[in-house]
């Protein structure tokens, strides 16, 4: 297995506040890797930094061996990295079909794109029904499916999802993770940030626990499930000054 | 005596010009939140090119006007607005005011402030009869050109991949970039399109007024600003409808105000804007995603 | 106690000293230079008026020249000698045609009238922010221009109004400039101004903490309009003639440039910007006339209009490379005040 994404000693700060302090992790080709942690742990900052939305203060981000930190935003997707940000950012005024087409902005194989769009339409009949209505009118779960499909349509090597289950009913969350599993089955590597630790552990190969800007625990998801030090790392109980 | 037909033709031809100008301003505002005062000078400079090339075939003169307007639009973007892209909208607006004044002053400096007369489309300066009324052929053509151009731009935005990218960028620039939309390309094309629109407006407007001077575009630009505010800054359909509305209201004020008050019709118009903003601060068609970015 | 007060008003004293020193210097200079300095002092009144609103609220305002025009015409109509008034404006209402108030009442009545207008038109406009506010104030300036330019019975329309009492000399202008700076400084030390500056940084948070942003803005807008009205009246009674054309785009740009170049977030910025631009304009004017380079026999000349081009370029350069202006938004000697807490 080859290392696709290697992050070493990454530091990011917003003004005086350090959001990430020396994070190191790696993602291998074909994996689903989860990053879990409480609010404010620095999870979203990590994804933003990989995508080029935030400039790091130190450390390296290597994608297929190339340094990518601080690159122009529009180059991210051209390198093969798709980010599905938190909060379901559909283009609310554009139609469902237009949203999907935008996902394929960088591709030139139009016939193939049209075919893939049809696949998603079959997978989620609601998208097909609403293809010509503004995406802003879809429900939360439908919008989440739409943005994931939009991300995958760029045919990325690495798909990054930020809190894909946030605010969704458990049944919808299952659908979202089924979709992620299907995407992986087609050879796409997945890096997913989750606050719902249980869900993340069930659906990923490996998990990193992030808290107060640093990696506290890492390991195979199956091993971490139910381990006592997992909860301690997640809630920061092992940190100095934590209530004992 | 003003007939209904004549008033309608006046209103639509004036509204069409305002709509095209407002659209040129709105295109740029929608993708980069810049209220571009210098749009006036795109119109003015195009008109000067038409003046300089008068005597040559219309196609050639008009091509020259388009070329100069597009170049000027793209150059001002590159020099003045690109470095300020991350600045707040008010700084960009002051910068565009400075660019506008700079070009005006350069024109006065280089060409003098005296108006120069031109007649780029002499074959249109005749009247045609619609039923019992005589209307100006130029105004009819103006309406036609505006309609065709609006249609073409709509098709470009709705049917082409680049148009889709521009609409996405207008709604959420960062997300658009994340899907691979190239920021510079979208903004440069927006400026280039605004240049084309300005050149068309220059041709039609100069043909009506018959002269060009360094401030030719200023009143047009100010009125078009009003139109975009009424329509909803950042909304392209809003800009068009706002432009048409302003044209119609201006024509009606001209036709029906008591003669003593006619010179003040613009004042009434602008007072209407302030009133409209009171009722709908974001215009008739508020653009999406505008709140978090203004 | 005295020390603390002194530290607090140190920026004000420094600015006043600067203004008085310039006036004293102009007193011993030739008449042409003295006239330039009077114009500078009148501009200080107007730029300070613009600053009171724009600096404290952070909202763009293009309307000050409109208020200058209103102030100038109100003062002229109320204080002009009845003879020339009847000649230039034969259609005035009789009470106005007969009015001939003392000259010094002009600036104050002009300013007061502007303040009243500002309260009325400001009420809707002050609810707007950002671009919408900028366009609304620009419209306001345009309305003033159109109305005054076409209201022939009141203003003479496109014809120049002549025969105003030209009483504004060096020390009158100086007194008004000093007054404007004192008023602006006193205002920015009030809690209203403080709250308004808080809203400049974050309007939503300010509103959430109970600050009535629109009302505070209206206060600053009204005070600013008053000062601009006074400035306009002084301008008219310095020139002795009035033309609606002199209250349009060029001075609008000039005032905004002065404030932005100086730094729109401090009173020092307003005064310094005014001074720098006035000096630069003067130098450029000399270049247009031709400066002989000593010893070379070469005369440096530029065509007329060159100065305006340079001014616009300077404005752009400042915006691109030093958007907070020369002062960076700080007050002169402001560190004293800050240290005293």
Question: Mean pLDDT, to the nearest integer, of C289-305?
Answer: 75
Nearest chain C Cα distance for residue B252, angstroms: 18
Asked if B1 contacts B174 with a C-beta cutoff of 8 angstroms, the reply is: no
Which residue in B has a C-alpha nearest to residue A90's C-alpha?
Answer: B175
Residues with Cβ within 8 Å of B150's Cβ and at least 6 positions away in sequence, in order, are B19, B20, B23, B240
Which residues of chain B have a CB within 8 Å of the CB of A102?
Answer: 164-165, 168, 176, 179, 181
3-class secondary-structure state, position A19: strand
Flag if A83 and B288 touch (Cβ within 8 Å). Answer: no
Which candidate from C143, C309, C323 shows the least CB-CB separation from B106?
A: C309
**Stronger pLDDT, A200 or B291, i.e. the higher one:** A200
B293 touches chain C (CB under 8 A): no
Residues with Cβ within 8 Å of C145's Cβ and at least 6 positions away in sequence, in order, are C66, C69, C244, C247, C248
Which candidate from B172, B181, B288 shows the least CB-CB separation from A89?
A: B172
Which residues of chain A have a CB within 8 Å of the CB of B183?
Answer: 73-74
**CA B71 to centroid of chain Cα atoms:** 17
Mean pLDDT for chain C?
89
Which residues of chain B have a CB within 8 Å of the CB of C128?
Answer: 277, 281
Flag if C312 and B98 touch (Cβ within 8 Å). Answer: yes
- Look at strands A206-211 and A214-220 and give their pairing: antiparallel
Question: Mean pLDDT, to the nearest integer, of B247-271?
Answer: 87
How many contacts, defined by CB atoms under 8 Å, are there between A and B? 62
DSSP conformational letter for B79: I
Q: Sign of the C-alpha dihedral, residues C72, C78, C81, C82?
A: positive
- Of C240, C250, C252, give the one whose Cα is nearest residue C67: C252
**CA B130 to centroid of chain Cα atoms:** 29
**Which pair of tokens denotes residue B271?**
């007072």
- Residues of A (76-105) whose Cβ lies below 8 Å from B: 76-78, 82-83, 85, 89, 91-94, 98, 101-103, 105
Per-residue model confidence (pLDDT) at position B1? 47
Per-residue model confidence (pLDDT) at position C1? 57
Which candidate from B181, B288, B289 shows the least CB-CB separation from A74?
A: B181
- Residues B24, A141: Cα–Cα separation, whole Å: 38
**Which pair of tokens denotes residue B291?**
């709140």
**Which pair of tokens denotes residue B189?**
């094309």
Of all residues in chain A, the percent with pLDDT exceeding 90 is 59
Q: What angle do CA C284, C179, C274 make, to 5 degrees?
A: 20
Which candidate from C121, C131, C305 shows the least CB-CB separation from B93?
A: C131
Per-residue model confidence (pLDDT) at position A238? 65
Q: Count Cβ neighbours within 10 Å for each residue of B16-39 and write b for 16 or more, e otherwise.
A: bbbbbbbbbbbbbbbbbbbbbbbb
Nearest chain C Cα distance for residue B274, angstroms: 6
Which residue in B has a C-alpha nearest to residue C147's C-alpha?
Answer: B264
B83 touches chain C (CB under 8 A): yes
**CA C334 to centroid of chain Cα atoms:** 23
B84 touches chain C (CB under 8 A): yes
Q: How many CA atoms lie within 13 A of C118 on its CB side?
A: 32
Q: Given pLDDT bands bounded at 50, 70 and 90, which one contains residue C192? A: very high
B222 touches chain C (CB under 8 A): yes
Residue with tokens 């210098």: B38
Q: Given pLDDT bands bounded at 50, 70 and 90, which one contains residue B290? A: very low
- Kindly list the partner chains of chain B, i.e. chains with 3 or more CB atom pairs below 8 Å: A, C
Phi-psi sector, C163: left (phi>0), alpha (psi -120 to 50), beta: left
- Residues B18, B24: Cα–Cα separation, whole Å: 10
Per-residue model confidence (pLDDT) at position A233? 84
Residue C130, pLDDT above cutoff 90: no
Flag if A94 and B164 touch (Cβ within 8 Å). Answer: yes
Residue C299, pLDDT above cutoff 80: no
Question: Mean pLDDT, to the nearest integer, of C266-290?
Answer: 90
- Residues C275, C19: Cα–Cα separation, whole Å: 10
Of all helices (H) and strands (E), which one includes residue A83? strand A81-84
Per-residue model confidence (pLDDT) at position B289? 54
Which residues of chain A have a CB within 8 Å of the CB of B164?
Answer: 94, 98, 101-102
Q: Given pLDDT bands bounded at 50, 70 and 90, which one contains residue B51? A: very high
Number of helices followed by number of strands (H, E) in chain B: 11, 4
3-class secondary-structure state, position C179: helix
Mean pLDDT for chain A?
89
Flag if B177 and A73 touch (Cβ within 8 Å). Answer: yes
Question: Mean pLDDT, to the nearest integer, of C318-330?
Answer: 87
Question: Mean pLDDT, to the nearest integer, of B232-260?
Answer: 89
Residue A102, pLDDT above cutoff 90: yes
- Of C144, C155, C80, C71, give the one whose Cα is nearest residue C110: C71
Per-residue model confidence (pLDDT) at position B265? 86
Nearest chain A Cα distance for residue B285, angstroms: 12
Q: Count Cβ neighbours within 10 Å for each residue of A63-95 and write b for 16 or more, e otherwise.
A: beeeebbebebbebbebbbbbbbbebbbbbbbb
How many contacts, defined by CB atoms under 8 Å, are there between B and C? 121
pLDDT digit string (tens) for B189-229?
A: 999 999 999 999 999 999 999 999 999 999 899 899 889 88
Per-residue model confidence (pLDDT) at position A240? 62
Asked if A135 contacts A124 with a C-beta cutoff of 8 angstroms, the reply is: no
- Where do runs of H (alpha helix) occur along B36-136? 39-52, 58-76, 89-111
- Residues A221, C96: Cα–Cα separation, whole Å: 89
- Residues A153, A107: Cα–Cα separation, whole Å: 9
Q: Max CA-CA distance within chain C? A: 68
**Stronger pLDDT, B290 or A192, i.e. the higher one:** A192
Which residue in C has a C-alpha nearest to residue B262's C-alpha?
Answer: C150
Question: Mean pLDDT, to the nearest integer, of B40-66?
Answer: 95
Per-residue model confidence (pLDDT) at position C295? 74
Per-residue model confidence (pLDDT) at position B292? 36
Question: Mean pLDDT, to the nearest integer, of A194-204?
Answer: 89
Per-residue model confidence (pLDDT) at position C199? 87
Pick from B44-48, B197-201, C23-27, C63-67: least confident: C23-27
Residues with Cβ within 8 Å of A1's Cβ and at least 6 positions away in sequence, in order, are A28, A29, A30, A31
Asked if C72 contacts C236 with a C-beta cutoff of 8 angstroms, the reply is: yes
Residue C102, pLDDT above cutoff 70: yes
Q: Do chains A and C touch (3 or more CB pairs under 8 A)?
A: no
Of all residues in chain B, the percent with pLDDT exceeding 70 is 97
- Residues B139, B204: Cα–Cα separation, whole Å: 9
Flag if B264 and C146 touch (Cβ within 8 Å). Answer: yes
CA-to-CA dists, residue B112 to B64, B99, B106, angstroms? 21, 18, 9
**Stronger pLDDT, C149 or B293, i.e. the higher one:** C149
Asked if A23 contacts A48 with a C-beta cutoff of 8 angstroms, the reply is: no
Residue A241, pLDDT above cutoff 70: no
Which residue in C has a C-alpha nearest to residue B270's C-alpha?
Answer: C139
Which residue in B has a C-alpha nearest to residue A53's C-alpha?
Answer: B174
Residues with Cβ within 8 Å of A37's Cβ and at least 6 positions away in sequence, in order, are A43, A195, A209, A210, A211, A216, A234
Residue A97, pLDDT above cutoff 50: yes
- Residues C284, C278: Cα–Cα separation, whole Å: 10
Of all helices (H) and strands (E), which one includes residue A56? none
Asked if B45 contacts B112 with a C-beta cutoff of 8 angstroms, the reply is: no
Mutation site for A-interface testing, chosen from B177, B179, B290, B292 by largest number of A Cβ within 10 Å = B179
Which residues of chain A have a CB within 8 Å of the CB of B178?
Answer: 51, 53, 73-74, 76-77, 82-83, 85
Per-residue model confidence (pLDDT) at position B284? 79
Per-residue model confidence (pLDDT) at position A197? 87
Flag if B264 and C257 touch (Cβ within 8 Å). Answer: no
Per-residue model confidence (pLDDT) at position C338? 54
Q: How many CA atoms lie within 13 A of B256 on its CB side?
A: 11
Asked if C199 contacts C210 with a C-beta cutoff of 8 angstroms, the reply is: no
Q: Considering the entire predicted model, what is its pTM? A: 0.89
C69 touches chain B (CB under 8 A): no
DSSP conformational letter for C244: G
Which residue in C has a C-alpha nearest to residue B93's C-alpha?
Answer: C131
Beta strands in chain C (DSSP E): 161-162, 241-242, 291-292, 299-300
Gap between the terminal Cα atoms of chain A: 41
**Stronger pLDDT, C146 or C329, i.e. the higher one:** C146
- Kindly list the partner chains of chain A, i.e. chains with 3 or more CB atom pairs below 8 Å: B
Per-residue model confidence (pLDDT) at position B41? 97
Flag if B101 and C134 touch (Cβ within 8 Å). Answer: no
pLDDT digit string (tens) for B80-112?
A: 999 998 888 888 999 999 999 999 999 998 898
Question: Mean pLDDT, to the nearest integer, of C257-265?
Answer: 92
Asked if A45 contacts A37 with a C-beta cutoff of 8 angstroms, the reply is: no
3-class secondary-structure state, position B260: helix
- Of C252, C221, C244, C225, give the one whose Cα is nearest residue C315: C252
| CB neighbours of residue A108 within 10 Å | 7
Mean pLDDT for chain B?
90
pLDDT digit string (tens) for A63-79?
A: 999 999 888 888 999 99
Question: Mean pLDDT, to the nearest integer, of A197-210?
Answer: 91
- Residues B221, B246: Cα–Cα separation, whole Å: 13
Nearest chain B Cα distance for residue C252, angstroms: 10
CA-to-CA dists, residue C77 to C86, C224, C230, angstroms? 10, 22, 14
pLDDT digit string (tens) for A23-50?
A: 999 999 999 999 998 888 889 999 999 9
Flag if A89 and B164 touch (Cβ within 8 Å). Answer: no
Flag if B181 and A102 touch (Cβ within 8 Å). Answer: yes
- Of B210, B278, B221, B275, give the one whose Cα is nearest residue B37: B221
Question: Mean pLDDT, to the nearest integer, of B39-49?
Answer: 97
Per-residue model confidence (pLDDT) at position B288? 64
Which residues of chain C have a CB within 8 Å of the CB of B227?
Answer: none
Report the 3 state secondary structure along B169-224: HHHCHHHHHHCCCCHHHHHHHHHHHHHHHHHHHHHHHHHHHCEECCCCHHHHHHHH
- Residues B41, B47: Cα–Cα separation, whole Å: 9
Q: Given pLDDT bands bounded at 50, 70 and 90, which one contains residue B294? A: very low
- Of A219, A222, A244, A221, give the one whose Cα is nearest residue A232: A244
Residues with Cβ within 8 Å of B209's Cβ and at least 6 positions away in sequence, in order, are B216
Per-residue model confidence (pLDDT) at position A244? 39
Residue A217 main-chain phi, psi, to 5 deg: -160, 145
Per-residue model confidence (pLDDT) at position A18? 86
């Amino acid at each position: 297995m080859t290392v696709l994404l290697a992050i070493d000693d990454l530091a990011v700060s917003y003004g005086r506040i350090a959001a990430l302090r020396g994070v190191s992790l790696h993602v291998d080709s074909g994996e689903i890797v989860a990053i879990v942690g409480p609010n404010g742990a620095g999870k979203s900052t990590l994804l933003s930094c990989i995508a080029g939305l935030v400039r790091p203060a130190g450390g390296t981000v290597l994608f297929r061996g190339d340094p990518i930190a601080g690159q122009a935003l529009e180059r991210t997707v051209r390198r093969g990295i798709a980010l599905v940000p938190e909060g379901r950012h559909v283009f609310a005024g554009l139609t469902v079909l237009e949203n999907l087409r935008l996902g394929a902005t960088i591709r030139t194989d139009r016939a193939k794109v049209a075919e893939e769009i049809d696949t998603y339409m079959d997978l989620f009949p609601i998208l097909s029904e609403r293809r010509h209505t503004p995406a802003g009118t879809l429900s939360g779960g439908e919008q989440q499916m739409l943005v994931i499909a939009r991300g995958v349509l760029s045919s990325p090597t690495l798909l990054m999802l930020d809190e894909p289950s946030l605010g969704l009913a458990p049944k919808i969350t299952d659908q979202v993770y089924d979709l992620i599993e299907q995407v992986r089955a087609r050879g796409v590597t997945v890096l997913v940030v989750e606050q719902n630790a249980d869900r993340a552990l069930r659906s990923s190969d490996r998990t990193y626990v992030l808290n107060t800007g640093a990696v506290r625990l890492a390991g195979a998801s199956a091993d971490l499930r139910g381990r006592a030090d997992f909860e301690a790392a997640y809630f920061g109980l092992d940190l100095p000054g934590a209530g004992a | 005596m003003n007939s209904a037909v004549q008033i309608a033709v006046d209103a639509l031809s004036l509204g069409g010009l305002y709509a095209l100008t407002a659209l040129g301003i709105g295109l740029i505002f929608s993708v980069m939140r810049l209220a571009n005062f210098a749009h006036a000078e795109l119109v003015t400079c195009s008109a000067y090119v038409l003046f300089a090339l008068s005597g040559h075939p219309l196609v050639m003169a008009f091509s020259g006007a388009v070329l100069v307007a597009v170049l000027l639009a793209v150059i001002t973007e590159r020099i003045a607005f690109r470095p300020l892209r991350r600045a707040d909208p008010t700084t960009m607006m002051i910068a565009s005011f400075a660019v506008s004044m700079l070009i005006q002053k350069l024109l006065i400096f280089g060409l003098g402030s005296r108006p120069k007369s031109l007649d780029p489309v002499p074959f249109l300066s005749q009247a045609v009869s619609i039923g019992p009324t005589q209307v100006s052929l130029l105004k009819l053509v103006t309406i036609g050109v505006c309609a065709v151009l609006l249609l073409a731009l709509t098709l470009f935005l709705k049917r082409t991949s680049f148009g889709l990218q521009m609409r996405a960028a207008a709604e959420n620039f960062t997300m658009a970039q994340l899907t691979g939309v190239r920021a510079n390309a979208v903004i440069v094309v927006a400026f280039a399109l605004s240049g084309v629109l300005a050149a068309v407006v220059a041709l039609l407007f100069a043909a009506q007024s018959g002269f060009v001077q360094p401030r030719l575009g200023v009143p047009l630009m100010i009125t078009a600003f009003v139109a975009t505010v009424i329509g909803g800054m950042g909304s392209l359909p809003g800009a068009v409808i706002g432009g048409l509305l302003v044209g119609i209201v201006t024509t009606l004020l001209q036709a029906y105000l008591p003669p003593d008050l006619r010179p003040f019709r613009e004042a009434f118009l602008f007072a209407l804007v302030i009133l409209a903003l009171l009722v709908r601060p974001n215009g008739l068609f508020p653009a999406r995603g505008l709140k978090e970015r203004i | 106690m005295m020390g603390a007060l002194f530290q607090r008003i140190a920026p004000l004293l420094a600015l006043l000293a600067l203004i008085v020193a310039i006036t004293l210097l102009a007193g011993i200079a030739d008449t042409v230079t003295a006239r330039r300095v009077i114009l500078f002092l009148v501009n200080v009144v107007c730029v300070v008026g613009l600053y009171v609103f724009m600096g404290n609220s952070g909202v763009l305002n293009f309307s000050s020249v409109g208020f200058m025009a209103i102030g100038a015409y109100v003062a002229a109509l109320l204080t002009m000698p009845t003879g020339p008034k009847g000649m230039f404006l034969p259609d005035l209402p009789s009470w106005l045609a007969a009015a001939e108030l003392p000259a010094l009442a002009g600036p104050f009545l002009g300013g007061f009238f502007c303040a009243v207008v500002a309260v009325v038109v400001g009420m809707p406009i002050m609810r707007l922010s950002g671009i919408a506010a900028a366009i609304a104030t620009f419209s306001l300036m345009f309305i003033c221009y159109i109305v005054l330019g076409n209201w022939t019975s009141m203003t003479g329309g496109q014809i120049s109004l002549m025969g105003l009492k030209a009483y504004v000399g060096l020390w009158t202008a100086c007194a008004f400039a000093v007054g404007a700076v004192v008023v602006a400084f006193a205002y920015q030390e009030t809690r209203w101004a403080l709250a308004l500056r808080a809203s400049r940084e974050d309007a939503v948070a300010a509103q959430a903490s109970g600050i009535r942003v629109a009302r505070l803005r209206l206060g600053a807008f009204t005070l600013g309009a008053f000062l601009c009205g006074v400035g306009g009246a002084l301008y008219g009674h310095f020139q002795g003639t009035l033309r609606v054309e002199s209250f349009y785009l060029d001075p609008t740009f000039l005032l905004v440039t002065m404030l932005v170049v100086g730094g729109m977030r401090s009173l020092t910025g307003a005064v310094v910007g005014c001074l720098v631009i006035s000096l630069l304009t003067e130098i450029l004017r000399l270049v247009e006339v031709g400066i002989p380079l000593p010893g070379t026999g070469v005369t440096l000349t530029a065509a007329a209009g060159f100065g305006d081009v340079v001014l616009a370029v300077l404005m752009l350069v400042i915006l691109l490379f030093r958007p907070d202006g020369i002062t960076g938004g700080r007050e002169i000697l402001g560190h004293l005040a800050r240290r005293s807490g």
